Structure 1
Amino acid sequence: MSAFRTLAKDEYGRRGVIDTPAGQIQTPALLPVANLIGGTTPKSGGIWRYARRYLFESDSVQGIMFQTMTFLDYNLTPDNLADWREKPLKQHFEESDVEPGFSQPLFVDSGGFKLMNSTTFGQPPEEGGSENDWGIYTNPESILKLQLDYGADIIATLDFPIPQNLNQDEATERMKKSIDNAVECLQMLNDPELLDEWDVDETPSVYVAIHGHSYEDVHWYVSRFLDRANELDEAFEGFALGSLVPLSNSPDVLVDIVQGAKDAIPEERYDDIALHVFGISGRLCPLLALLGVDTFDSANYLKAARNKSFIHPETWKRTKLDQIEDWDNWCGCKACQDIHIDDMRHALLESDVKYKPIEGEHGTHFKSEYYAQIAHHNFELYSRQMQDVRDAIDNDGLLELVADFAQDKNIVEKGLKRAQLHNPELREQLADLGYEALVAGPDTETFQTKLSSFYDDIDDEQEEKRTISLKHGPNDFDILQYDSYQPPSDASVLLILPCSQEKPYSDSRTHQAVISRLKDYEDSYHKISLSGLYGPVPEAQETVEPVMSYEYVLTTADEDQVDLVANRLAAYLDRYGEQFDHILAYTTSKAYRQAIEEAFSRYGRGEMYPREPRALQLTEHFRNTNIDELVERIDTALVE
């Protein structure tokens, strides 16, 4: 089994090592998220195919984070996944004639976010659920078996993520379930008979996934789990803090959460319990390392690359390819030394060639290769940052490194000032180092850590915020049951848009991207949103309680739910469709397109836009050429 141990400490941060069967991870470290299953074979994956190659070959990669359920993004069948599960992922790539093998430690999460809203991967039949063709269920045994089949060196326990603004009762219930899951996982890994049945020779390191949106939440969570683990005398290696990505622009909250976890760990155990944070990278990492975080993971390096953005080596801002000047002196990292910038600019900014290699001065390459080169640069920059953090700890200079990042009124400054409220000694040390502008004054904020019950009443400000519930079902809202509803009689176009996480839908960035372009036609169309849970939702009903408070994302894996949405939309069209001269839909989501196209087929008419998107992903929703296509169609429809 893997193990974490502290090697050296700065006054705040620490240097450590995680021993795994695949080698050591020197901490603090950033593990890149990589889609290892990007299709049916190791050759699949588009950008990921080339990005993986760079990661496998890089000396900077200490380990790779794989998200358990990402195979759902690539239209695999249950049989395809069964082929991947026949042997560890590393073995697939070692035997591939396309990809180099990789030997770095593999950290596999539990897939909690993908499973959160799934109607396919529920409880197993013996626990009251329904059987599915994948044989994967939202219970500790099923997920642990999947992680072991992948060949994980480190795993995170099955968690129930807590979305922002989830009502307090459901948040508490989900935290308790996550703790139960962690305990059950540890018990299974200490059951010789079960491990023998599963043919497991070496068990992975276990990181207990924890969630919470405040110091008190996380402190309660960690304390409660430690009480359970101590009673059972079960070993684990660390805690992994989740639900943090939405808080990446709230460094004060991040600081509170990390501090809450750290303060709940008894001093005598602190040196052998690691702290991991999911989904965080960039400027905040040195600050969080100062507070005791040991490992991070992120896919931001590749997300930025998809937008043709390099992380700037000094400002850490995303810099578009067409904004980079003086390339020869721009960076100089390992990745950039291999980039032929003129060929890249031609391929990504000028060429209209799709799905074919593009000839350049230095050879012929797919666009995906150039995107992967940008991702490689971004990751190497993050890796260099982690090396700087490790060096700073070795030389008692981590606080000074963080203070340098905190200049110019940025989010690191806000987080550092929050950290001083937990650790007042930081004020004096920052002043001694000459960073008086970063010192939080006594009147900056009154703060007193409170190790109170998680069940304290929510304050008035919180009560005014929109709260959500994960217990809503399809029958909580159905527009076909609203006898008083009638579409406006003067609208000749029915416009169908996919729902959004932000509520009401009409205020969301996705809806506004389209609606703002249709101001000249606002009296001529009737918009309905297609909810992945409820089906059609007219604009006037967007603010009813079940619509405002649900949280659900439709995926192609939830076939029954896709059928339900399609059925409800078809029924809506049967009842109201003849009132409209034109029925138009706009979405770049595969699941929503599938449901809408099925409904159109049953009803007999309806047009889908964009007609041929470059890819079925969210970035295409905002592409001007795609929105132009819809606007032009509405314009011609109104003069026909």
Structure 2
Amino acid sequence: MSTKFSFSVSAVDGQARTGVISTPRGEIRTPAFMPVGTAATVKAMMPESVRATGADILLGNTYHLMLRPGADRIERLGGLHKFMNWPRPILTDSGGFQVMSLSGLRKLTEEGVTFSSHVDGSKHFLSPETSMEIQRKLGSDIVMCFDECPALPATEAEVATSMRMSMRWAQRSRDAFGDRPGHALFGIQQGGVTRELREESAEALRAIGFDGYAIGGLAVGEGQEAMFGVLDYAPGFLPEDKPRYLMGVGKPDDIVGAVVRGVDMMDCVLPSRSGRTGQAWTRRGQVNIKNARHADDPRPLDEHCSCPACSQYSRAYLHHVFRSGEMISGMLLTWHNLHYFQELMAGLRGAIAAGRLGAFVAEFESQRAEGDIEPLTVERG
């Protein structure tokens, strides 16, 4: 196993790449989808079950963990990996996005952000330096720079001002991170949907130098067309020999489009959140298990899926336990969704390696266009 952090590309198809990120805690096959373990758990899943779906790495949320149970407590208890029983790589975000989106009352200055906890209203302060210290205590393998995520809609001038402060914060994050062998620090490109600002941001990050580079400020309501428009050029501004991470994405068609455009890593709460609300993602699109059409259906969600929800239970059962408010509903649907997302990533990696990504994407799109299987007509006596 590697004693340091490294990234190698093994095959390229168009802009898409497949390869491996090596860390002391294990390898991450790319393109990679990272399930989100907000509060040191992927909701409704055991860690070994998440691993069984094919996940190589999880994401933890600095903001939530610093508020509860606290970074000092996690450090005393042996670090986040031991605390949550996940011995493989963990990426932690910086807390910036949650501060901007959840905390309501906040005061932003050049120094950092003062905010009120959404849990109990207590006052806290986050800066590049404190974010690096909290993430060090958590012990994550990949640490994210502290940046500002401007709320949209915003003017181009507001986006530019925010981006330039984030670049100053990136330098402070780099300085505070220091030398931590085996651990990686990723910079975050900002700039909204403006090409010149994205390029300026990338130049600033490259001058500082990072172990990987994220594309931030997308998947925040701008729509898929605008997001893909940015991804048509933004990854190309970043170093080819470092991983590229698109933050907060997304739906299966977002993931495929991002991989085609050169993205190596993604994360999203969607598979687990959807699972708890009765939404299943399949190769034929989305299935809403709460709909009455499933009540008498003995067929699986997806006959080609080998996850427990599909191989051992019927649509009728999944419909029943969801409508009954049973915990097993969220457990089974989350497992299925995570399994499907990881199966999609494995398919993308294999297609890139074989030089047949175009054919894979065409098949992906044609299956989704078919829609869900036809409902059964049930004769009632």
TM-score by length of structure 2 reads: 0.81
Indicate the residue corresponding to 2:160 in structure 1. 172
Instruction: Pick closer, same or farther for the CA change 1:176–1:20 going to 2, 3 Å.
Output: same
Q: CA deviation at 1:108?
A: 0.5
**Which of 193, 196, 202 is the matching residue for 1:213?**
193
SS in 2 for 1:243: coil
Distance 2:310 2:20 in 1: 30
Indicate the residue corresponding to 1:355 in structure 2. none
Indicate the residue corresponding to 1:89 in structure 2. 80
Q: Would you say 1:298 and 2:292 are equivalent positions? A: no
Indicate the residue corresponding to 2:259 in structure 1. 289
Q: Would you say 1:238 and 2:212 are equivalent positions? A: yes
Pairwise mapping of residues 391-402 of structure 1 onto structure 2 (< 5 A)?
Answer: 391-402=350-361
What is the letter of the counterpart of residue 92 of structure 1?
F
Indicate the residue corresponding to 2:286 in structure 1. 317
Q: CA deviation at 1:3?
A: 2.0
Indicate the residue corresponding to 1:24 in structure 2. 27
**Which of 5, 8, 14 is the matching residue for 1:5?**
8
Gaps of at least 5 residues in structure 2 are 370-381
14-23 or 320-329, larger mean C-alpha shift: 320-329
Q: Would you say 1:110 and 2:125 are equivalent positions? A: no
Q: CA deviation at 1:370?
A: 2.3
Q: CA deviation at 1:315?
A: 1.9
- Contact 1:121–1:136 (Cα < 8 Å) also in 2: no
SS in 2 for 1:62: coil
- Contact 1:31–1:63 (Cα < 8 Å) also in 2: yes
What is the letter of the counterpart of residue 28 of structure 2?
I
Indicate the residue corresponding to 1:61 in structure 2. 55
Pairwise mapping of residues 243-392 of structure 1 onto structure 2 (< 5 A)?
Answer: 243-247=217-221, 250-265=223-238, 269-270=239-240, 272-281=241-250, 282-312=252-282, 314-322=283-291, 323-324=293-294, 325-328=297-300, 330-331=302-303, 332-337=305-310, 339-341=312-314, 343-349=317-323, 351=324, 367-392=326-351
Instruction: Pick closer, same or farther for the CA change 1:123–1:317 going to 2, 3 Å.
Output: closer
Give the greater-gyration-radius structure (CA). 1
Distance 1:219 1:205 in 2: 23
1:419-455, CA deviations, whole angstroms, 9 ceiling, x for partnerless residues?
A: xxxxxxxxxxxxxxxxxxxxxxxxxxxxxxxxxxxxx
Q: Which has the higher strand share?
A: 2
Residue identity over aligned pairs, in percent, reads 19
- Contact 1:34–1:64 (Cα < 8 Å) also in 2: yes
Gaps of at least 5 residues in structure 1 are 39-46, 94-100, 192-200, 230-234, 353-366, 411-640
What is the letter of the counterpart of residue 63 of structure 1?
I
Instruction: Pick closer, same or farther for the CA change 1:329–1:167 going to 2, 3 Å.
Output: closer
SS in 1 for 2:146: coil
**Which of 70, 92, 110 is the matching residue for 2:64?**
70
What is the letter of the counterpart of residue 276 of structure 1?
Y
Pairwise mapping of residues 493-504 of structure 1 onto structure 2 (< 5 A)?
Answer: none
Q: CA deviation at 1:276?
A: 0.9
Distance 1:189 1:142 in 2: 10
Instruction: Pick closer, same or farther for the CA change 1:340–1:142 going to 2, 3 Å.
Output: same
Distance 1:80 1:189 in 2: 20
Q: CA deviation at 1:217?
A: 2.9
- Contact 1:110–1:143 (Cα < 8 Å) also in 2: yes
Q: Would you say 1:150 and 2:134 are equivalent positions? A: no
Indicate the residue corresponding to 1:36 in structure 2. 39
SS in 1 for 2:91: strand
- Contact 1:280–1:296 (Cα < 8 Å) also in 2: yes
Alignment RMSD? 3.2
Q: CA deviation at 1:163?
A: 2.3
What is the letter of the counterpart of residue 327 of structure 1?
R
Instruction: Pick closer, same or farther for the CA change 1:65–1:131 going to 2, 3 Å.
Output: closer
Indicate the residue corresponding to 1:468 in structure 2. none
- Contact 1:90–1:102 (Cα < 8 Å) also in 2: yes
Distance 2:339 2:105 in 1: 38
SS in 1 for 2:21: strand
Instruction: Pick closer, same or farther for the CA change 1:206–1:329 going to 2, 3 Å.
Output: closer
Distance 2:97 2:187 in 1: 15
- Contact 1:109–1:155 (Cα < 8 Å) also in 2: yes
Q: CA deviation at 1:386?
A: 0.5
Pairwise mapping of residues 379-528 of structure 1 onto structure 2 (< 5 A)?
Answer: 379-407=338-366
Higher relative contact order, chain-length normalized (CA < 8 Å, sep 6+): 2
Distance 1:129 1:59 in 2: 39
Instruction: Pick closer, same or farther for the CA change 1:181–1:301 going to 2, 3 Å.
Output: same
What is the letter of the counterpart of residue 286 of structure 1?
V
- Contact 1:279–1:296 (Cα < 8 Å) also in 2: yes
Q: CA deviation at 1:131?
A: 11
What is the letter of the counterpart of residue 321 of structure 2?
A
1:257-284, CA deviations, whole angstroms, 9 ceiling, x for partnerless residues?
A: 223322323xxx41x1211111213122
Q: CA deviation at 1:54?
A: 5.4
Q: CA deviation at 1:85?
A: 3.9
SS in 1 for 2:38: coil
Instruction: Pick closer, same or farther for the CA change 1:137–1:2 going to 2, 3 Å.
Output: farther
What is the letter of the counterpart of residue 381 of structure 1?
Y
Indicate the residue corresponding to 2:173 in structure 1. 185
Distance 2:359 2:113 in 1: 56
Q: How many residues align?
A: 354
Instruction: Pick closer, same or farther for the CA change 1:321–1:372 going to 2, 3 Å.
Output: same
